[in-house]
Structures are given as C-alpha cells and as structure tokens.
Amino acid sequence: MTAFRLPEGGAVDRGQIFAFTFDGMPYSGFSGDSIASAMLANGVRVVGRSFKFRRPRGIWGAWIEEPNAIVNVTRSGRTTPNLRATTEALENDLAVRPVNAWPTAAQDRAALVDKLSAFMPSGFYYKTFLWPRWETFEPAIRAMAGLGIIDPDHRPPADNPHFNARCDVLVVGGGPAGLAAAAAAAGGGEVVLLIEDHADVGGQLVHRGGTIEGGEWRGWAASVRAAIELAGGRVMTSTTAYGVYDHNLVCAWERRVGRPDALWRVRPKRIVVAAGAIERPLVVPDNDRPGVMSADAALVYLRRFGVMVGRRIIVATNNDAAYPVAEALAEAGAEVAIFDARADSLPTKLDVWRDSEIEGVVGSSGVEGVRIAGQTRPADALLLSGGWTPTVHLYAQARGKLRYDEALAALVPGAEIDGVTVAGAANGAFTLDEALRQGHAAGGGRGVAPNAPAGGYRIAAHWPRPDAAGRRWIDFQSDVTLGDVALAGREGYVSVEHLKRYTTLGMATDQGKTANVNGLAAMAALTGRTIDETGTTTYRPPFVAVPMTVVGGRRRGALINPLKRLPLEPEHRADGAQLREYGGWLRPAWYGTDDPERTIQREAARARESVALFDGSSLGKIEIIGPDAARLADFNSYNRLSSLQPGKIRYGFLLSETGVVFDDGVTLRLADDRFLVSCSSGHTEAVVLRLELWRQDRFDPRRLVVHDTTAHWATLTVTGPRARDLLAALDLGVALDDASLPHMAFATGAFEGGPLRVARVSFTGDRSYELSVPARRARTLRARIVEKLPEFGGGLLGLEGLMILRAEKGYVVVGKDTDGTTMPHDLGVTGPREQRRDEYIGKRSLFTPAAEDKMRKQLVGLSVPRGEAPLPTGAHVVEGAGKARRSLGYVTSSAMSPTLGLPVALGLVEAGFARAGETVGVYHLGEERRASIAPAVALDPEGTRLHA
C-alpha cells in the first residue's frame, strides 16, 4: 500500500504537527490523527507481525475491530503495551513499536517461521512439545507469541474514578439509530444517557454522510444533542459501553483528555443498543497481506483523516455498501476497480468485474497486484467488503439469542429481551432511513421517525468454502486460516466452542470481531449445517480491552485494603511506634528505631520483670442486651455464660457450625440482661454478624439486641508484676485489692467524668488490667500511665513483644495456632463438650467420627535445647526420614523467650497429646532439626504470676 496524505480534507488540524516514531523511524502527523492514520499517511505498510506465523501485517480497520496494528506506545519514557493504533490518538513525541517483532516489523528476524507453516497447523504445539515436557519449550514460545512487554517502571497512579449513574434510557451508540432513539426518548421527557465511543457523534454518518430531515445530518444531530440535555440527559463521547451485567448494569470506559480515564457503572431503566456494525473481510487467498484493508475503513481514513490508502485500488465485495467507498476514493483521485462476487452489481461509472473471484494477492510485504481470472491486475491496495456484522455484543451479553438473517447474510438479534432493545445496524438496519425508523421506535417515539432518503442494501452471501485453495485468513489476530477450521472439523471439533478453543479463533484481544462469523460459516459449510444450527460462542464482557488501571480504579495502594486506625495512633507515633497490620488494624509492633529483634526482646523482658502498657483498643466489644441475652450468649459460646455472675469474666471459644474454633475471647457480664463479648480484633465484624444472624433466626429479636461498641471504647492494658502498683499510683478510684477485683472480674468507675471499666484479664500470663474508657478520654489516661511507667521500671509494649509473652504461656491466636480443622478438644478444652446438654453453635459437629478421631492434630509445645535458634514458623513436624518422611503437622508459633532464655514454640501435631516427650523432626527448606513434644505452657504452668 502506498497510502499518503491528501493535500486537503479530513478532520485533522493541519496546523498542529506532532512528531512520532515507529520502529525508531521519525514521522509526523497532525492533531486529530490516530496513530494508525498517521502511520498510513507516512506510507508505513508493515505495522506488525502475525501472532503465529510472523507474517507481515498492515492496518485492516479504523477502530476497535483492528486485528493487526497492536502496538506498544511510549509516552514520556513510560511504555503502555497492547494498544490499538486505530483507537489511540496521536500525540507529540510518541514512540510506537509493534508488540511482537524484532528488530522491526518490516525486518522481523522470526519471519522464517512462516516457511514452516505446513508443520504448524492448529494445535501443533499440543501435539509436538510433549517431550521432555511442555515447560521446557514454554518460555521460548511465550516470548515469541506474547503481546507486548510490561514496563516495570510504569506504575500509573491509582486515580481512575468509578462513577455511578442512573437514567431512564441508556443509548449505546451515537450513530443515526442511537441519535433517533435518544431524540425520541428525550422528547418523551425521559432522562437519556447517550454513550458514543468515538470523540464525536454520528457513527457512519461522519464518513459516509447523509441527509436527515432535509438537511445535512450534523444540524439534526446537534438538535438531538440539545434535546437530550434539555431533558436532563447527557451525551458522553469517547466512552465505550463494554459490558452488560446483572440487572442490566452497564459498565462503560470513558477516555478523558487531560484527566484520568473513568469507569461508569450505569443502571438504566432500559437500554437501547445502537452500536452499529463491523465490516468483515472476504476470505480470499492471501487476504492478510499489508495493503488488504476493510473498504469501510478506507473511507474512514479518507473522510476523517484526509488519508488515501492507495493510488491503484481494487475493491472486492459481495454487497452494495462498498460502492460508495469506491466512488469516493475514485473521486479523491485514485484509480479504482470493483470486483463484485455478484452478477448484478449497482450501476456505477467505475470499472466493475462481475462474478469475480479473487485468486490471490501478489506482494509479500504489501499489495502489488491482485490475481483474477488467471491474470494479475496491478494494485497497491485491496479493499475487502464481505458484508456487515451487527455489533450485538451487549445484547448477547444480556442473554439475547441471535438468529441468522439470510437476506442480510448476518446474525441479528432474535427475540427482544427485558429492558434491552436493539436498533439500527446492530439490528440489521443497514440503510440510513431504516436505522432512523428503528431508532425512533426503540426510543419510544410516537409519530413519524426522522426522515432520510430511501436507501437500499443487497448482499449475496459469499461464505468461505472449506475446500477452497490457497491460504485464506479468517482470524488475522489469532492467525487462524480456513485450513485450520477445516482441520478442526476433521479432528472432530465441530462445536463452535471447541472450534474456538482448538484453533484459538476469536480468542485474541480483538475477540474475533472480524473473524467469528466467517469462522462459524466455514464450520457450518464443513458440517453441512446451517449457520443457525452451528450457533455462536458465548459473548462475554468486555467488548473491548479495558485498561486494568480503569478496572481497578482508585482501589490500589492505601485503598486496596485499608486498615482501621486506633484512636491513640498519633500518640503511638509520637512515641516512635513501628506500626504494622494485625487483624485489619494498624497497631504498634514495637517502639523505637533500634534493632527490631533486640527491641522486641527488651520490651517482652521488661513486661515480665516490671510493668508494660499496650493498646488493646482493637479488641471487639460487642454487647448482647435484653431479657434473652443470656440465652444468646450461651448459644453463641462453647463455654456456658449464663452461669456467670454480673461483674465476672469468662474466657471461652466460639465455634463454627462445623465445630471448628471460630474465635476466642472473654465475656463480661455487665448486668443480668447485658453481656460484653470481647473477641479478637480481626474477628469482630464476623462475630457481630453471627450474633445478629442467630438473634434473628433463633430468638425473639424483640427481647434481644446486639450492639457493636468496639469503636466507642479505647482499651489500655497494663500488665506485669508491678501493674497493680502502677494503677494504684494513678488513683482511679477503683479498689484494686484481689478481694475486690480478683482475676477474671471487672470493676467500674469514672474517669474525667466518663465511664471507666477495669477488667482483670490477661493475655500475657502476668497480672493485668484492661482499662477501658470512651475513646476521646483515652489520650489523657494514656498520658497518665506513660508518665508513671518509668517510676516502676516499666515501658511500652508492642504487639511483637506481646506475641512472645502469650506464646510462652501457650495462649492461642485463633487462625494462627488453629486452622480450619481445629476443635476445642484439640486445644485441650473438653469440659463443655462433655458437660453441656443444651444446644450451642457447633455442638453437633463435635461428636462426629472425624471429631473423635484419635489422630487429630492437637496443640502442643515444641521444645529445643538451650542455645538453638527458634524453630521456623510453618515448618513441618515430621517422623521418619528420606522417602518415608511424613508430616505430622506444623509449627504455628515460635519465639525466643527472653524470660526462659530459650526458644519456645507451639505446633499442631497429629495425636500430639499422646506424643508428650517424644522427639520429632522439624523439616524446613531441606533441613531437619529435632524437637521434643512438650506442654503448650512453657512458663508458669501453675499460673501464679496472674496473682503475683
């Protein structure tokens, strides 16, 4: 193809020149160009290489249907792969490269692959690369076949907004049918959202022109736009509706100039799909040569961009739509001939060859001639027009069924589906007057539709014959030929779904927009079925490739999984806290910038020796209130709670319905009819949900309420042998002697005019006090405690130090020291299972054969000799050696105990309780160590420190 820019014409701004490169060669274009139009204007013929055979490829289309011109685009040093040159606007200083050619598209080193094409039919790699194994070849094949290379330095900001919108009528497509539908709906007072994927409305009118209501179409389009806006609607251009989802939710990608692209989620009352149609190729020999192009696309380049696609052009067609193209190109100065497959062509002054059958295309790197009737006719462009394929994707995604229309040689929408109407070319109306009529009706218009001169469209189906000679491409992007379809048929892959997967027909990034109908027609011919009987593959979103940045939107970085924040975070930061995530909260891990390991050890040791303060505000605080509160508390818990006296606290488990430990925590009985469930920080929402579920499903919700008060309270825990001394020094007005406030009891008081709750519970094994106050008062309380800490030799304690303290005591962290099979008796807690006769969640599952299996994994301690390093968490506990080595379980928690001076560890081990004292292996990353099964409690098994 020797395409070139005409001295005038097109909608480009010739006063604004943009420089760009393709394959390193410098070129220039105009503002308003697409990358593809600019490449054509510069005479670039080969824009890429085919996916499989590495054949040179040129530009086929002018918009989203383009299968060949897939490029990497570098802007300001950042490369974005896999863009369509036909839909990307040209900008200044773009560097454009084909996705799969090296060193250039024109001189690709792998071009020799095409010489081996006879040995590379469909599915050849499934059959060929079996030995020694597929993975041996996979990297090289992927490197050759891949589309583009991700630029690791290109990390676009997470700034693509997602908008929600509602309207009465969503019109997809701003062509004549879409505009007519929108005009009718807006005229009826409905709020219309009209979405058009080009930067301007008009659709085919933009390059084919048209007269509507007696005038040039643009005047009518402008009046429609005004009517839409007057009725409260909106016209969105450069926006592609790419998917219909449940309840007719439509997602659309808006490309915005100077602002990040946006994703729209539109929930319309009804949808009008007027998405137009795409021209498909004729399946002639060598139809993939650079210079072979869609006839309609050639007209787009002429009218939109002032680019002539060749000087000596042959238009091959089987329908009427190619004739205006040929005449326009001839009028613009090209030498044009028409090869019509039909006997009765339209009247024209051009040279028409009737009943013509193209026998081949001459020119390996670009069209040099076309063979017909045994002779070669010189040409530099061959335009193919095989008929229109309606863009029915959104209708089909909404579960609409297609039917084959013989007269149109096209698959068109069948029965109307709820809330979705299809109009215009998408519904087989390929003339302007019919498109306007359909659009008007789809929009609910009354009276006469917008007027246009009567048009006509005739086509003679010219489907590919499976036995036809020559290499004929059906799917340009996936490099699937007619021969591949025939092979699939011979091998039994006659279902279109099997055909698709065996040959990859329609599986490339263009999703077979130009290929699918030809492919299924070929299969229909091959199997002797009709096209209707052959059917189509399933249409799924997205209609076009949508950038992942747009899909992901702003939910990246800090917003992908935001954390809850403590009310005292500023104070922790001021004290040098190193903050980490624990159970969905950002909490202090340790304090200071010294070596973390030494700091954590120091904090843990100090807590054992004197006193420490840690922030327990994230612990759940869920109230169960009402006359039936005790019944729900009992049902929710493995341990009975109704026997708990007001003022007292009980530790226990919550089980899932499968009897597995769901969470643990303490419950405070605030009053006869009021309990406070203090569950794990990370499980609060789930515990609230299950309480609410059972409240509503099993109990009388009028006698029972669940209130989550976690966020209202801040909890500061003072722990250590000197904890009581420190609290006494604070003078909180609460009696602290053990008779008044024993372990597992709480007292209430006041602090700064607000409530104060002091609970004696311990997650460290030492005497501890949890002080809870409303969050706004926590700063003062903490400041007072922190001020007193040095006086008692105490300090701050982060979560890492706390984890050491609780591991020394064998206190479990549910989800860490338990897994999806752990039941309470696996943790040594059997009382309720043996004694409770009433119902509670999970009870039934505790008595199944699996629950009573003697070989269940049970929580035990794992001890190693003094001087050895801690066991790796996650390491397998094993028995046997070599091939006989068998996993018995794994290490769940492990730490160096500063108090004991040796490592401590917990593990879930098969029949662990019965293995007490047994020596086992601990296998990790190819190395095995020895450990002995020990009690889970490594420090103070008598619990004397709780009262010290």
Partner 1 sequence: MRERTWAPARRAGGTLIDKPRLTARALTGLGQTLVSGDLEAAIASLGPGAPLLGLYAPAPTAAHALRIARDRALIVTPTPLGAADGWRDGWCATTVDDGFAAIDVEGPDAALALSQGTSADLAVGSPSAAVLFAGLRCLLARTEAGFRLHVEAPWLEALLTWLDGA
SS3 call for 377: strand
The answer to whether the CB of 603 falls within 8 A of the CB of 612 is yes
Residue 234 sits in the site that holds partner 1 (CB under 8 A)? no
For partner 1, which stretch binds (CB under 8 A), given 230-238, 631-639, 773-781, 894-902? 773-781
807-to-215, 532, 871, 873 alpha-carbon distances in Å: 84, 68, 13, 12
- Note whether 414 binds partner 1 by CB under 8 A: no
* CB closer to partner 1 out of 553 and 832: 553
User: Among residues 85, 181, 275, 625, which is the contact residue for partner 1, using CB under 8 A?
Assistant: 625
- 622-625 vs 705-708, strand pairing mode: antiparallel
Q: Which residue do the tokens 């005009």 mark? A: 183
User: Which member of 107, 136, 538, 709 binds partner 1 (CB under 8 A)?
Assistant: 709
Contact between 591 and partner 1 by CB under 8 A: the answer reads: no
- Is the distance from CB of 29 to CB of 38 less than 8 angstroms? yes
Of residues 244 and 920, the one with the C-beta less far from partner 1: 244
DSSP string of 561-575, one letter each residue: S--EE-TTHHHHHHT
Only one of the segments 33-41, 351-359, 624-632, 889-897 lies at the binding site for partner 1 (rule: CB under 8 A); that segment is 624-632
User: Position 176: which residue type?
Assistant: P
User: CB of 525 within 8 A of CB of 464?
Assistant: yes
User: Applying CB under 8 A, which part among 34-42, 211-219, 708-716, 891-899 lies near partner 1?
Assistant: 708-716
**What DSSP element (H or E) covers 404?**
strand 402-405
Please state the closest distance from residue 570 (CB atom) to partner 1, in A.
6
Instruction: Provide the minimum distance between the beta carbon of 775 and partner 1 in the complex, in angstroms, as a whole number.
Output: 4
271 binds partner 1 (CB under 8 A): no
Among the listed residues 230, 558, 869, 914, the single contact to partner 1 using CB under 8 A: 558
The reply on whether position 357 binds partner 1 by CB under 8 A is no
562 binds partner 1 (CB under 8 A): yes
Query: Closer CB to partner 1, residue 220 or residue 264?
Result: 264
Q: Any idea which residue has 């039936």 for tokens?
A: 628
Pairing of strands 70-75, 94-98: antiparallel
How many angstroms separate the CA atoms of 537 and 514, rounded? Answer: 14
Residue 715 interacts with partner 1 (CB under 8 A): yes or no? no
- 278 near 387, Cβ under 8 Å? no
User: Do 680 and 663 contact (CB within 8 A), yes or no?
Assistant: yes
Residue labelled with tokens 């997809």:
172
For partner 1, how many residues bind (rule: CB under 8 A)? 49
Cβ neighbours around 501 below 10 Å, total: 16
The correct pick among 199, 671, 689, 735 for binding partner 1 (CB under 8 A) is: 671
CB 246, min distance to partner 1, A: 12
For partner 1, the closer CB: 395 or 713: 713
Per CB under 8 A, the list member of 188, 542, 701, 749 interacting with partner 1 is 701
Residue 648 DSSP code? B
Q: b/e for 6-27, b at 16 or more Cβ within 10 A?
A: eeebbebeeeeebebebbeeeb
435 touches 425 (CB < 8 A): yes
Q: How far is the CB of 586 from partner 1 (least distance, A)?
A: 6
HSE value, Cβ hemisphere, 13 Å, CA-based, for 513: 24
Closest CB to partner 1 among residues 44, 235: 235
- Residue closer to partner 1 by CB (options 408, 691) is 691
CB nearer to partner 1: pick between 753 and 926? 753
Judged by CB under 8 A, the chain residues 196 through 225 that form the site for partner 1 are none
Under the criterion CB under 8 A, does residue 593 sit at the interface with partner 1?
Answer: no
Nearer to partner 1, 93 or 159 (CB): 159
Q: Pick between residue 319 and residue 681 the one whose CB is nearest to partner 1.
A: 681
Q: Where are the beta strands (DSSP E) in 741-885?
A: 746-751, 754-759, 768-774, 795-796, 857-863, 876-879
CA distance 687 to 621: 10
Pick between residue 511 and residue 684 the one whose CB is nearest to partner 1: 684
Nearer to partner 1, 357 or 569 (CB): 569
Establish if 563 lies at the interface with partner 1 (CB under 8 A).
yes
Part in contact with partner 1 (CB under 8 A); list of ranges 325-333, 476-484, 490-498, 580-588? 580-588
626 binds partner 1 (CB under 8 A): yes
Burial class (CB in 10 A: 0-12, 13-18, 19+), 698: middle
* Cα–Cα distance measured from residue 294 to residue 59, given in angstroms and rounded to the nearest whole number: 9
Check the CA dihedral 540-521-145-391 and report its sign.
negative
Which 538-557 residues touch partner 1, going by CB under 8 A? Answer: 554-555, 557
Residue 756 as a binder of partner 1 (CB under 8 A): the answer is: no
- Alpha carbons 716 and 771: distance in angstroms, whole number: 5
Closer CB to partner 1, 434 or 634, in the complex: 634
Strand partners, 279: 388
Scanning 129-137, 240-248, 625-633, 845-853 for contacts with partner 1 by CB under 8 A, the matching segment is: 625-633
775 binds partner 1 (CB under 8 A): yes
Which residues touch 375 (CB under 8 Å, ≥6 apart)?
none
**Radius of gyration for the alpha carbons in the chain, expressed in angstroms and rounded:** 37
Q: Among 109, 403, 776, 816, which residue interacts with partner 1 (rule: CB under 8 A)?
A: 776
Q: Read off φ and ψ for residue 175, nearest 5 degrees.
A: -80, -170
- Contact between 719 and partner 1 per CB under 8 A: no
Q: Note whether 241 and 252 are within 8 A (CB).
A: yes
CB 657 within 8 A of CB 845: yes
Contact present, 268 and 169 (Cβ < 8 Å): yes
In angstroms, the Cα distances linking 98 to 4, 155, 482, 628 are: 21, 21, 26, 71
| 465 binding partner 1? (CB under 8 A) | no
In the complex with partner 1, the residue whose CB is nearer, 269 or 540, is 269
Q: Is 288 exposed, middle or buried (CB count within 10 Å of its CB: 0-12, 13-18, 19+)? A: buried
CB-CB contact of 593 with 201 (8 Å) = no
Cβ closest to partner 1, residue 458 vs residue 555: 555
923: helix, coil or strand?
strand
Q: Is 627 in the site for partner 1 (CB under 8 A)?
A: yes
CB nearer to partner 1: give 498 or 707.
707
Q: Write the binding mask 129 to 168 for partner 1: x where contact by CB under 8 A, - elsewhere.
A: -----------------------------xx-xxxxxx--
| Residues 329 and 314: beta-carbon distance below 8 Å | no
The interface region with partner 1, picked from 43-51, 356-364, 630-638, 666-674 by CB under 8 A, is: 666-674
- Work out whether 232 is an interface residue with partner 1 (CB under 8 A): no
The binder of partner 1 chosen from 91, 569, 868, 879 (CB under 8 A): 569
Distance in Å, CB of 668 to partner 1, minimum: 13
Contact predicate 514/281, CB 8 Å: yes
Instruction: Name which position in 259, 267, 354, 399 contacts partner 1 (CB under 8 A).
Output: 267
Q: Which CB, 291 or 567, lies closer to partner 1? A: 567
725 touches partner 1 by CB under 8 A: no
Q: Which is nearer to partner 1, 373 or 711 (CB)?
A: 711
679, exposed or middle or buried, with CB in 10 Å at 0-12, 13-18, 19+? buried
Cβ neighbours around 135 below 10 Å, total: 8
Stretch that binds partner 1, among 21-29, 179-187, 600-608, 670-678 (CB under 8 A): 670-678
**Residue 710 near partner 1 by CB under 8 A:** yes
Of 298 and 799, which CB lies nearer to partner 1 in the complex structure?
Answer: 799
User: Site residues (CB under 8 A) for partner 1?
Assistant: 158-159, 161-166, 265, 267, 554-555, 557-559, 562-567, 569-570, 573, 579-581, 585-586, 618, 623, 625-627, 671, 673-674, 701-702, 705, 707, 709-713, 774-776
